[in-house]
Amino acid sequence: MRHTGLLAGAVTAVSAQASYGNGYGGAGPNNLTFETSIKVNAAQQYQKMIGGGCSGAFGAACTTNTLSAADQEAVVQTLFGENYGGLSILRNLIGSSKGATILPSCPDTPAGPFNYSLPGNDTCQLPLARTALKYNPDLFLYADAWSAPGCFKTTGMEAGGGVICGVRRSNCTQDWREAYANYLIEYVKLYQQRGINVSLLGAYNEPDFNPFTYSAMLSDGYQAYDFLSIFYPMVKKAFPSLAVSCCDSTGARQQRDLLYELGRLGGTNLFDVNTYHNYQSDIKEPFDDLLKGQPTIETEWSDGGTNWTPTWDKSGNNFEGFQWAIYMHNAFRNNVAGWSHWWCTWTGGDAALINVNGTSYQVAARLWAFSGYFRFARPGAVRLDAESGVEEVYVTAWQNTNGSVAIPVVNAAHYAYTLDISLAGTNVSHGVAYLTDNDHNVTMSEGFAVSGGRFQAVIEPRAMKTYFLDSQ
């Protein structure tokens, strides 16, 4: 159903005497060249970019400790530096397990006393946040809990499900909701005391899923209403500009179900950012019908397996960089404003963007897919309407706050496309292309001038190319 209006006549062969009735070029099947048009219209605008990210949760932030001090810095710069990975979201775990929690001992009743303290360097998340801030001073720190302290829950344990005492169907003798709200706010205060601002605060991680073995707490949309209706006003009182998330479900469909239930009780105004994960279902349609204008961020995804896939496009598996470029494209077209990988770094497997192996590290090409978007469509950029003439060439367009325009294009064909790109409603006059494929990592390539609101460009086979246009 994509772009049917533009399809007719948009695909034409470049070579002269060919007959393309059967789709093959006259000079033989090994010499196919194609062209199509891309139309960008700045008058039609969608969501505002929040950015790309990753997490140092569950000890991931400590996995760089085996590297030299210089390489530890280089890894964080590679992820968060504007001219490298271009990330801006860091998702912290508000730890609930022994040794990782800010509440090492639990009072007998919700009346307290509560003795909070940050455990050491917060399992290396604090130094990671500090270094990330050095390379991206506008870091968007998302502090998120996987579970309440065990003693606040029906099960008495932080791992393996249970619900917070006080919500419907919890059937506890005491109501711990306010205590949980205070505990989450306390984590923000402990970071603030160390000079680090949290931007977004979350009470849930995958509340639709019981992993049985590790930190987890369940909630349906009705139970989320029972907690958020206490939590949301408390957050706003403590930190008026701190945003509240809901609810990091395992997939877009699971998140829709939760939001639907929350909305039935009138709870759609009890959060500021709609957060979901991409594990159990990916996004098929915008969340807009279930929201009151809040932005959406995909806050976690990766492969839990042991394979490490550093490549861009060698095997076609879904953890190659090329595939992630298209996953993100699809999310953006469905009005998603941010996209976070699971771990930033780890010691094996596709759960991380960077693999650390003793004293060396390797960057997955997935990060170059992130960079193709987030280096150029910076936080605050607004998505513009952009249509490609053909299905296999994917396009989004973004206008930064200073008027510069980023056009990330992904060519899924195994042959190059010549693109005739037209822009309406912008002032850009010239640009530079940045190429990512098997041999290039967001490499600056050709420059070009924009004339009469259009320019011609070539995109290589199986490549992502970001056209970055400015007016000065």
Ligand X SMILES: *[C@@H]1O[C@H](CO)[C@@H](O)[C@H](O)[C@H]1NC(C)=O
Nearer to ligand X, 73 or 392 (CB): 73
Q: Is 301 within 8 Å of 12 (Cβ atoms)? A: no
Pair of tokens at residue 290: 């279930």
Residue 238 Cβ vs ligand X, minimum distance, rounded to whole Å:
12
Residue 169 Cβ vs ligand X, minimum distance, rounded to whole Å:
7
In sequence order, which ranges of 160-244 are alpha helices (DSSP H)? 177-192, 221-238
Residue 24 Cβ vs ligand X, minimum distance, rounded to whole Å:
12
Nearer to ligand X, 23 or 120 (CB): 120
Nearer to ligand X, 356 or 410 (CB): 356
Nearer to ligand X, 2 or 15 (CB): 15
Residue 242 Cβ vs ligand X, minimum distance, rounded to whole Å:
9
Residue 404 Cβ vs ligand X, minimum distance, rounded to whole Å:
4
Name the one residue in this structure whose structure tokens are 């022994």: 98
Rounded to the nearest 10 degrees, how much is the dihedral formed by the CA atoms of 384, 399, 331, 92?
-150
Pair of tokens at residue 470: 């400015």
Beta bridge partners of 159: 215
DSSP string across 226-293: HHHHHHHHHHHHH-TT-EEEEEEESSHHHHHHHHHHHHHTT-TTS-SEEEEESSS---SS-SGGGSSS
3 state SS of 136 = coil
DSSP string across 304-360: -SS-----SSSS--TTSHHHHHHHHHHHHHTTEEEEEEEEEEESSSTTEEEEEETTE
Rounded CA-CA distance 308/224 in Å is 36
Residue 172 Cβ vs ligand X, minimum distance, rounded to whole Å:
8
Buried b (16+ CB within 10 A) or exposed e, 404-428: bbbbbbbbbbeebbebbbebeebeb
Nearer to ligand X, 348 or 461 (CB): 348
Residue 87 Cβ vs ligand X, minimum distance, rounded to whole Å:
14
Distance set, CA 95 to CA 4, 8, 236, 334 (Å): 49, 55, 22, 32
Residue 136 Cβ vs ligand X, minimum distance, rounded to whole Å:
12
User: What is the maximum alpha-carbon separation in the chain?
Assistant: 85
Distance set, CA 147 to CA 48, 165, 274 (Å): 30, 12, 18
Tell me: cis bond preceding 461? Omega within 30 of 0 counts. Answer: no
The torsion angles phi and psi of 251, rounded to 5 degrees, stand at -155, 170
Rounded CA-CA distance 91/132 in Å is 11
Residue 127 Cβ vs ligand X, minimum distance, rounded to whole Å:
4
Give the DSSP H/E element, type plus range, for residue 463.
strand 463-470
Residues of the shown chain interacting with ligand X in the complex, contacts defined by CB under 6 A: 15-18, 26-27, 31, 62, 65, 104, 115, 117, 120-121, 123-124, 127, 171, 195, 197, 241, 308, 310, 348, 357-358, 363, 365, 378, 400, 402-404, 426-427, 440-441, 470, 472
Distance set, CA 8 to CA 36, 269, 388, 454 (Å): 10, 44, 12, 20
Nearer to ligand X, 67 or 259 (CB): 67
3 state SS of 302 = coil
* Minimal CB distance residue for ligand X: 15
Nearer to ligand X, 116 or 209 (CB): 116
Residue 60 DSSP symbol: G
Residue 121 Cβ vs ligand X, minimum distance, rounded to whole Å:
4
Nearer to ligand X, 107 or 211 (CB): 107
Nearer to ligand X, 252 or 354 (CB): 354
Residue 405 Cβ vs ligand X, minimum distance, rounded to whole Å:
8
Nearer to ligand X, 276 or 467 (CB): 467
Nearer to ligand X, 56 or 267 (CB): 56
Residue 440 Cβ vs ligand X, minimum distance, rounded to whole Å:
6
Nearer to ligand X, 15 or 456 (CB): 15
